[in-house]
Amino acid sequence: MDTKLNNNYMNLNYLKRYCVEKITDYPVLKEEISDFFYLACDEVEQGGSQMHETDLAIESINQLIEDHLEKIKDLESELKQLKGQ
């Protein structure tokens, strides 16, 4: 992928669209997802690379979602066990 294209792709505007999409999919995580977005913005304002901070925020958001889904799965499993007793 062309570096210039990659830099345009992985910037704060992309991160904003990504966050809106994930908040739509997981509204219960709105506050945490928003925190990752604002943290990335703050880091860029302090001289961090947009591409790097966007990548870090996306990784963190994906981990947050993965943990959330795992927690739901665990709770569903516990509920099934309780219903079986």
pLDDT digit string, tens, across residues 7-53: 545 799 999 999 999 999 999 999 999 999 999 999 999 999 999 99
State mean pLDDT over 58-72: 97
pLDDT at residue 4 in the model: 42
User: 19 to each of 3, 35, 61, 68, 84, how far by Cα in Å?
Assistant: 23, 10, 8, 16, 39
State mean pLDDT over 50-62: 96
pLDDT band at 5 (very low <50, low <70, confident <90, very high): very low
Looking at per-residue confidence, does 65 or 3 come out higher? 65
